[in-house]
Chain A
């Protein structure tokens, strides 16, 4: 059986390593082969970007060689897929190669598209890319006071990031002794300050305590870069000195070009994690159209279900597990405390008060991530 994993980020790497272990006997016997195609020879720990934006991590700490993270039995190539030919069970790559498969796993992630909002790419700082995070830190460091606006595009990955960046801004300017010279205004697309009700209820008094201003029902329509004004689809506007944006996202272009899903989001069965209408094609991580957070954590839990099921299909001819929508998100509440939200399709999160040990757990996780994608955690 040929298993082809397309995408070597969080979801794809966990699937490939997990399968390589579960099916080690079958691989040794030559009955199963696992191939991974990715667009890069590097693997980035994306949550680290938030720390880069506040000068707490250096960009080089975010990367490992992808080959070093994979079980040796995984046949890895840097050769991005350009065509998915699902009716022929094959893909074509940039180099012109054709890869046949019996089982395909699509794990191509998502991309930021700030250019979809006029003025956003030129006018706003963002920490959703390495270059953006470094530039944002330099802007923060030279900032001596004034109005900072935080705006949030839809959809976006890591839905906790908008709240985390507020706590970090507050602590950063406090540490520099100029917090009272800085106005921080948070803008959020829906009618409360976070989409998860429990997070909104908990964060509101925290924002009040920190003196954060907020406006809800604010969807960014455009940025007037020259006059430094950000405008909403709801016909309100705010004049800023520094604009920070969580940019809107789409799935990868290759998904859209191949007609696999509108916006690059692939229609996925919410329990089986298969592409609707294709039982031998699995979808994991950001590129699904599932109504779950686009997070590494969701990708991780989905990857475990997918590998267990592909492996059981090889061994006993049937899948054994359903995905229950599980997500676990750390929430950094400044530079020395944190809490977390854990939820699934049926159960909302139950937020605990932030604590220092939780922050240290997150700091350790920043290192443990590499063990986790290797499938050892």
Chain B
């Protein structure tokens, strides 16, 4: 069964939202979805750049009341 996991990386400068996402992607199984929450302005662009380069699947990317909600599915 694939799972959906929430990773709350709001208000963090180090390790930072993308590092947190990479950590959780490594722990996840193929098919799992991770929803990353981030207050870092750069996340809206940084995260899709990595996800696309490495070959995972971007499901959604939206900013709600100052917080990025980025959903990614582990593809490999």
Interface residue ranges, A against B (CB under 8 Å):
154-155, 159, 189-191, 195-197, 217, 219, 233-234, 248, 262-263, 291-293, 325, 327, 343, 345-346, 348-349
Q: How far is the CB of B26 from chain A (nearest CB, A)?
A: 7
With A154-B23, A234-B53 as contacts: A345 and B15 at CB distance below 8 Å: no
Interface pair B50/A291, CB less than 8 Å apart? no
Interface pair A191/B8, CB less than 8 Å apart? no
Interface pair A217/B19, CB less than 8 Å apart? no
Interface pair B54/A195, CB less than 8 Å apart? no
Q: How far is the CB of B64 from chain A (nearest CB, A)?
A: 19
Q: How far is the CB of B12 from chain A (nearest CB, A)?
A: 4
Is residue B62 contacting chain A, with contact meaning CB distance below 8 A?
no
Residues of A near B42 (CB, < 8 A) are: 197
Q: Which of A191, A248, A345 contacts B12 (CB 8 A)?
A: A345
Interface pair A191/B50, CB less than 8 Å apart? yes
Interface pair B27/A293, CB less than 8 Å apart? no
Q: How far is the CB of A377 from chain B (nearest CB, A)?
A: 23
Interface pair B26/A291, CB less than 8 Å apart? no
A325 to B16, CA, bound (A): 13
Give the 8 A-B residue pairs with the shortest CB-CB distance, closest first. Answer: A291-B12, A195-B16, A345-B11, A155-B23, A293-B14, A190-B18, A154-B22, A234-B53
A56 to B46, CA, bound (A): 38
Residues of A near B50 (CB, < 8 A) are: 190-191, 217
Interface pair A291/B15, CB less than 8 Å apart? yes
Q: How far is the CB of B13 from chain A (nearest CB, A)?
A: 5
Q: How far is the CB of B35 from chain A (nearest CB, A)?
A: 15
Interface pair B22/A291, CB less than 8 Å apart? no
Interface pair B22/A219, CB less than 8 Å apart? yes
Residues of A near B22 (CB, < 8 A) are: 154, 189-190, 219
With A233-B54, A262-B27 as contacts: A196 and B13 at CB distance below 8 Å: yes
Residues of B near A327 (CB, < 8 A) are: 14
Interface pair B49/A217, CB less than 8 Å apart? yes
Residues of B near A190 (CB, < 8 A) are: 16, 18-19, 22, 46, 50
Is residue B34 contacting chain A, with contact meaning CB distance below 8 A?
no
With A190-B22, A217-B50, A291-B9 as contacts: A263 and B14 at CB distance below 8 Å: no
Interface pair A263/B16, CB less than 8 Å apart? no
Residue in B18, B42, B46 with the greatest tally of chain A CB atoms within 10 Å? B18
Interface pair B54/A219, CB less than 8 Å apart? yes
Q: Which of A195, A217, A346 contacts B15 (CB 8 A)?
A: A195
Is residue B57 contacting chain A, with contact meaning CB distance below 8 A?
no
For this complex, 27 residue pairs linking A to B, each with C-beta atoms less than 8 Å apart, are A154-B23, A155-B19, A155-B23, A159-B14, A189-B19, A190-B18, A190-B22, A190-B46, A191-B18, A191-B50, A195-B14, A195-B19, A196-B14, A197-B13, A197-B42, A217-B53, A233-B54, A248-B26, A263-B27, A291-B8, A291-B9, A291-B15, A291-B16, A291-B20, A293-B15, A343-B13, A345-B11
A263 to B5, CA, bound (A): 14
Residue in A191, A345, A349 with the greatest tally of chain B CB atoms within 10 Å? A191
Q: How far is the CB of A241 from chain B (nearest CB, A)?
A: 27
Interface pair A346/B14, CB less than 8 Å apart? no
Considering the complex, give the chain B residue whose CB is closest to the CB of A236: B53
Q: How far is the CB of A190 from chain B (nearest CB, A)?
A: 5
Q: How far is the CB of A375 from chain B (nearest CB, A)?
A: 26
Residues of B near A197 (CB, < 8 A) are: 13, 42
A262 to B24, CA, bound (A): 9
Which residues in window 26-76 of B have CB below 8 A to A?
Answer: 26-27, 42, 46, 49-50, 53-54
Considering the complex, give the chain B residue whose CB is closest to the CB of A290: B12
Considering the complex, give the chain A residue whose CB is closest to the CB of B38: A291
Contacts A155-B23, A191-B49 known; list 13 others, CB within 8 Å: A155-B19, A189-B22, A190-B50, A195-B15, A196-B13, A217-B54, A219-B22, A219-B54, A263-B23, A291-B11, A291-B12, A345-B12, A346-B11
A261 to B9, CA, bound (A): 17
Residues of A near B11 (CB, < 8 A) are: 291, 325, 345-346
Q: Which of B8, B16, B54 contacts A234 (CB 8 A)?
A: B54
Residues of A near B54 (CB, < 8 A) are: 217, 219, 233-234
Interface pair A292/B14, CB less than 8 Å apart? yes
